[in-house]
Amino acid sequence: MTTIHSTPSDTEIKARHRRLWASGDYPAVADLIAPLGRRLVDALDIRAGQKVLDVAAGAGNVAVPAARTGAHVVASDLTPELLETGETRHRDLGITWRTADAEDLPFDDDDFDVATSCVGVMFAPHHGRCADELVRVVRPGGRIGLINWTPTGFIGELFRVMKPYAPPPPPGAQPGPLWGDADHVRSLFGDRVTGHEFDITTVAVTAFDTGTAFREFFKKHYGPTIVTYGTISDDPARVAELDAAIDELADHYIAGGRMEWEYLQAILTVA
């Protein structure tokens, strides 16, 4: 197993990320997109007996349906509070819940048949490190399955709208929605993977009738939104500007109480 030595800057970045995703109630947000986990399990044809690692698993949107196939599943995440929610909800499935950094996974080389991440690893700051680790822990001929929000879809646009109000990203951190671009994914993995399968599609979210309803839910539950509003909380005019911008964006996507959130699904075979 390789070892990545973290700098003091890296340690602080990871601490910020843990606090961000522990704020609010991310499992409530993940419940909105629960079908994505089953879609990724089906696309990878995960089966009983396989050893599966779900990276940046949150409360288990992929880990849970993978375990229900009879696979042996490890769900890892930087934020232990999310894993605790998953374990409490799904004690009967035999999933191993493990606190771990996607950029420095505590697993042996070639240890898994399959590695997955559903709108998770995309938010780690150093994309190349994550790709390196995913390739390292999957055996040759094994598969990596990723679902990531696209830069041009609703969530990608939400991050664009929030960016002027958000705290500056840490030095060297790359934007998460880049993982939703197939060319970026190809560049990260290079010739270490083969058989690239890319599919851009959407997941339907039916929880919101208005942009205001969406915005209020995300202000309460979604870590990145919570942190962004916290940054401008002492400036009512800026808060009002961001409220209006998010309302307008969400209203644009809502039709008959339904939103379509675009994502890239990538299925890769380790060379």
28-57 pLDDT, tens digit per residue, is: 999 999 999 999 999 999 999 999 999 999
Question: pTM of the predicted model, to two decimals?
Answer: 0.94
What is the side-by-side strand order in the sheet with 112-118?
Answer: 96-99, 72-77, 51-54, 112-118, 138-149, 259-270, 193-205
- Spatial distance between the Cα atoms of 60 and 68, rounded to a whole number of angstroms: 12
Q: Mean pLDDT throughout 233-241? A: 98
Q: Mean pLDDT throughout 62-78? A: 98
Strands 193-205 and 259-270: antiparallel
Does the domain at residues 8-204+261-270 carry the CATH identifier 3.20.20.30? no
Compute the C-alpha angle 34/259/182, nearest 5°: 70
Residue 1 has pLDDT above 80, yes or no: no
**Cα distances (Å, whole numbers) of residue 119 to 54, 150, 156, 211:** 11, 10, 11, 22
147-175 pLDDT, tens digit per residue, is: 999 999 999 999 999 999 999 988 889 99
